[in-house]
Structure 1
Amino acid sequence: MLGACSSMSLLLVAIAFLYLAHRLTPKRKICGGTCSSAAAPLPPGPSPWPVVGNLPEMMLHKPAYRWIHLMMKEMGTDIACFRLGGIHVIPITCLEIAREVLTRQDANFVSRPLSFASGAISYGYKDAVLLPFGDQWKKMRRVLTSEIVCPSRHKWFHDKRADEADNFARYVYALTLSSTSGANVDVRHVSRHYCGNVIRRLVFGKRYFGEPQPDGGPGQLEVEHVDATFTSLGLLFSFCVSDYLPWLLGLDLDGHEKKVKQANATMSRLHDTVIDERWRQRKGGERREELQDQDFLDVLITLNDGDGNRLLTIEEVKAVCKDITLAAVDNPSNAVEWALAEMVNNPELLNKAMEEIDRVVGRERLLQESDIPQLTYAKACIREAFRLHPVAFFNLPHVATTDTTVIGYRVPKGSHVILSRTGLGRNPTIWDEPLRFKPERHMGDDIYVTLTESKLRFISFSTGRCGCMAASLGTAMSVMLFGRLL
């Protein structure tokens, strides 16, 4: 509490100084909503302070996502504009406006913002997900779509995913036998570590960074890895003050920078040991595995350009490995945890899901990925968890690459547009009884249910040019985790 007060005091002193400088310095007139009769107004929002914008209010009313949603509710608007430092942050809670941004004007919102966390995690924007739009973005997205998340590669790694699903079942079963009276299973713990195991196996070809555990569960290094991964995800684009006022970088007024450094250092320490050794082996021609033993890291390291030279630098390889790790661990584990929590409180739904698995899979074998197309109700349960209990309150920001207009409002170039996952998923104009867990709402007349939501009624894997490229992997992990636990 004392630290927060000190940080706020420093910021208020800075505000006072900058306000005086702002008042005493001659400058052109700046308007709030419109700068001329011909210009469209900015979306509605609270009046900003000079220089710092609405940052003082944001810091006083943490968490920021709750304050933003509360302000939008008070203003009665589905699109707003909060000026944080010199950046216009534009949240959206309406389906039609979301479609305008991510479908009709997708090309105008294809970039990502610069931030302390994204720069650190991506090795200075060498990755494919967090970097701004440009030549590097095109190169790395091409690598991911053609070499990593393509259908042929997804099929190629089926056996690795199946092996981890079997290991997960054995581990959970061992936990239930750990005492004579039975044992409680921490769903969050086992779900997150299942996702961590799958990703480590696909990316690095190994379940463990350290010594294997007899029960198939995580060791200390694996716990550190998953914890650091979730910490990093929670800090990405989390309204860090220095992201909007770069001259405050290093003061760490909100403690954000220290946490990012610690989590990123843990991930890098564990990843880089494997990557550096594999890079050295490939360079020396030492590593020559059979095709079926290769992993994502092998694929990335061995890519060549048209002249036969390495396509990727080691920093780019490391950045993409982090991309894949961060992209795949949170959504499946969060959705399954919430789906089970809701269904435990409504045994009728739980029984219905279990009856479907008994009918499709039977009791003589375990659920396999080949069963997923027939598990209509199970997928509807996961979709409903995506809708009602999203893994984050906002999706990753989209940066306007040009001045544009959205439903009559001006969106200046450089604005950060964020779609509210809760605003869309719990919107009463879209959903009947939006706060009730009703898997049946996703079934309708369609025989085949998917976890993707291209209509943007809620956000699962997003859409547009910056949408998730690994929806097939996310679907497989989510349904296998959910079905095996059931």
Structure 2
Amino acid sequence: MDQFYMTTLSVSVLLISIIWYLKALRKSPPLPPGPRGLPILGYLPFLSKNLLHQFKDLRHKYGPIFKLYLGNKLWVVISSPSLVKEVVRDQDAVFANRDSPVAALVGTYGANDIAWSPHNTQWRAMRKIFVQEMMSSTSLKESYSLRKDEVRKTIRHVHIKMGKPIEIGELSFRTELKVVMNMLWGGIIEGEEGNRIGAEFRVLISKIVDLFGKPNVSDFFPVLAGLDIQGVKKQMENYMQSMDSIFNAVIAQHREKLSGGVKKEGNKDFLQILLELQGRQDSEVSISDKQIKAILMDIVAGGTDTTATTAEWAMAELINNPDALANAQKELSDVVGLNNIVEESHIPNLKYLKAVIKETLRLHPAIPLLVPRSPAQSSTVGGYTIPKNSTVFINVWSIQRDPSIWDNPNQFKPERFLDDNGKLDFKGNHFHYLPFGSGRRVCAGMPLAERMLIYLVASLVHSFEWKLPTEGETLDMSERFGIVLKKSTPLFAVPTIRIHDSNLYM
């Protein structure tokens, strides 16, 4: 009898467990909706060259959160402020990892940088050093002379080219690169050697950034990564071999001069800070040469291509909107004066020009899908399951053009940022406007980018009048999708004199 009762009890417990498990399965939130795709390949054959417009169509069909199977990868695209808040604020720690593509792994020395590194102790230490040592208000204030010198050189260059078409993106890129190089290693590399390194960087950076965002079979089918079918890994390795030789030479020269007693004691350049930290025995952070080069790579790539692209978009929007350009120039005349040249000290009073930059970044966010996140564990967003290790894109481009949020969203209207009394900033606290991201993965270089964007655009607009090369020409404002959102056709514009005191250009 006891045997019978024991058997009955065991069967009952088993049945109850099975029923409970099946109920638990039924209660588990479903995956987000999305197109079915094909067996094995998923939605890969249907991806278009411009994901932004394709994602816009998919959002209309499936809602503000949808999924795409791409080979062995699951992408989740989020396009509403409330869902963004769940990711970057409510579950920020869960979604703080990266799903690094092969190109990014190679291009950042194995994700040893700040942008692509996993969310771990080393990342927190590196970011802390970067933010406190290079991006602090004190550090940026002390390095103003570096930015001022390069912007003045740019203005002189434009003055010499008066009346001739100038490629604005290339001009901005060259300026940003020189500023970044000066902040990285100061006066250690100068003269012809500095010019040579700058020229090599200009050739490499755009190619590397474009490759970061190139769809790669190796990322969608990791089992095929060893074959490198598209040659993306090989290409990036070739580019990085050139970058590596530059970094090695700069670090070696820096070490040699520092060991010989050539060091700055006040405003140190960033490479000196890293090398000194590397040599300290009591340091809480152990920094390898590989990590130093990865961080340098972050700064050179992130501090040049994205900022220069945004400056180009800002100039294009101003030229395309003469009333906005006139308003910006009137403000500059009132604040700076036509007998003076722009200084960073003028920036706090340039309310309209700040609104121009904000509106430019609303319409043309530099990284329109942000750098993708990856949850460290399965989670729930908007009532849907987001599996562990999936790739999560925050569609900033879509959110910042959403007609339910923004009035006339496709119109360039800087005044919308004047009407908000300065509430909308770049810090990512407003989830319908986050061009630099939000949460612990917000862009670490934001303080420098903000200063340089306003300072450079203000200097170009104040010093010169600008027009298109051909009378009556229609400006092409179409976008070329990539990890960085660029103009389809580069902007060429012709400068004419606005400030007549030639001494101000010297």
TM-score (norm 2): 0.80
CA shift in 2, pair 1:422/1:449, >3 Å: closer
Pairing partner for 1:261 from 233, 237, 249: 237
Provide the rounded CA distance (Å) in 1 between the counterparts of 2:285 and 2:435. 35
CA shift in 2, pair 1:237/1:414, >3 Å: farther
2:275 matched to which residue of 1? 301
Q: Deviations over 1:71-121 (max 9, x none)?
A: 333x24111111223322111121211122111221111111132112112
Provide the rounded CA distance (Å) in 1 between the counterparts of 2:105 and 2:27. 38
Q: CA deviation at 1:452?
A: 4.4
Matched, 1:481 2:467: no
Q: CA deviation at 1:153?
A: 1.9
CA shift in 2, pair 1:363/1:384, >3 Å: same
SS in 2 for 1:365: coil
Amino acid at match of 1:89: W
CA shift in 2, pair 1:447/1:109, >3 Å: closer
CA shift in 2, pair 1:231/1:452, >3 Å: farther
**RCO greater where, 1 or 2, for CA within 8 Å and sep 6 or more?**
2
Provide the rounded CA distance (Å) in 1 between the counterparts of 2:242 and 2:128. 28
Provide the rounded CA distance (Å) in 1 between the counterparts of 2:304 and 2:118. 23
SS in 1 for 2:421: coil
2:485 matched to which residue of 1? none
Pairing partner for 2:99 from 101, 113, 125: 113
SS in 2 for 1:40: coil
Matched, 1:248 2:224: yes
Structural RMSD (CA) = 2.6
CA shift in 2, pair 1:67/1:266, >3 Å: farther
Q: Deviations over 1:443-481 (max 9, x none)?
A: 115168745453132332211001112222111110111
Q: 1:330-349, aligned counterparts within 5 Å?
A: 330-349=305-324
Larger displacement relative to structure 2 (331-340 or 413-422): 331-340
Q: CA deviation at 1:345?
A: 2.1
Q: 1:282-301, aligned counterparts within 5 Å?
A: 282=258, 285-292=259-266, 294-301=268-275
Provide the rounded CA distance (Å) in 2 between the counterparts of 1:449 and 1:94. 17
Q: CA deviation at 1:349?
A: 0.9
CA shift in 2, pair 1:422/1:445, >3 Å: closer
Matched, 1:460 2:435: yes
Pairing partner for 2:414 from 433, 439, 443: 439
Provide the rounded CA distance (Å) in 2 between the counterparts of 1:36 and 1:449. 42
Q: 1:404-423, aligned counterparts within 5 Å?
A: 404-423=379-398
Q: CA deviation at 1:147?
A: 2.2
Provide the rounded CA distance (Å) in 1 between the counterparts of 2:299 and 2:415. 32
Q: CA deviation at 1:187?
A: 0.9
SS in 1 for 2:439: coil
1:101 matched to which residue of 2? 87
Unaligned runs of 5+ in 2: 1-22, 462-506
Provide the rounded CA distance (Å) in 2 between the counterparts of 1:411 and 1:448. 32
Provide the rounded CA distance (Å) in 2 between the counterparts of 1:43 and 1:210. 56
Checking the alignment, whether the CA contact within 8 Å between 1:44 and 1:80 is kept in structure 2 is yes
2:29 matched to which residue of 1? 40
Larger displacement relative to structure 2 (349-358 or 91-100): 91-100
1:329 matched to which residue of 2? 304
CA shift in 2, pair 1:463/1:448, >3 Å: closer
Amino acid at match of 1:300: L
CA shift in 2, pair 1:256/1:62, >3 Å: farther
Provide the rounded CA distance (Å) in 2 between the counterparts of 1:64 and 1:346. 27
Q: 1:118-133, aligned counterparts within 5 Å?
A: 118-133=104-119
Larger displacement relative to structure 2 (372-381 or 157-166): 157-166
Amino acid at match of 1:344: I
Q: 1:122-161, aligned counterparts within 5 Å?
A: 122-161=108-147
SS in 1 for 2:65: coil
Q: Deviations over 1:148-190 (max 9, x none)?
A: 22222222222212222222211221222xxxxx212211111
Provide the rounded CA distance (Å) in 2 between the counterparts of 1:72 and 1:445. 28
Checking the alignment, whether the CA contact within 8 Å between 1:379 and 1:451 is kept in structure 2 is no
Matched, 1:198 2:185: no
Pairing partner for 2:166 from 185, 194, 204: 185
Pairing partner for 1:78 from 50, 53, 64: 64
Amino acid at match of 1:295: D
Checking the alignment, whether the CA contact within 8 Å between 1:208 and 1:222 is kept in structure 2 is no
Provide the rounded CA distance (Å) in 2 between the counterparts of 1:221 and 1:183. 27
Aligned length, in residue pairs: 438
CA shift in 2, pair 1:300/1:166, >3 Å: same
1:230 matched to which residue of 2? 206
CA shift in 2, pair 1:434/1:166, >3 Å: same
Unaligned runs of 5+ in 1: 1-33, 177-181, 214-218
Checking the alignment, whether the CA contact within 8 Å between 1:302 and 1:310 is kept in structure 2 is no
Q: CA deviation at 1:306?
A: 5.9
Pairing partner for 2:340 from 351, 362, 365: 365
TM-score (norm 1): 0.83
Checking the alignment, whether the CA contact within 8 Å between 2:33 and 2:62 is kept in structure 1 is no
CA shift in 2, pair 1:68/1:347, >3 Å: closer
SS in 1 for 2:260: coil
Amino acid at match of 2:118: P
Between structure 1 and structure 2, the one with the greater Rg is 2
Amino acid at match of 2:181: R
Q: CA deviation at 1:208?
A: 7.3
Provide the rounded CA distance (Å) in 1 between the counterparts of 2:281 and 2:317. 52
Matched, 1:54 2:51: no
2:363 matched to which residue of 1? 388
Amino acid at match of 2:211: L
Provide the rounded CA distance (Å) in 1 between the counterparts of 2:227 and 2:190. 34
Provide the rounded CA distance (Å) in 1 between the counterparts of 2:393 and 2:50. 16
SS in 1 for 2:393: strand
Task: Indicate the percent of aligned positions where both proteins have the same amino acid.
Answer: 29
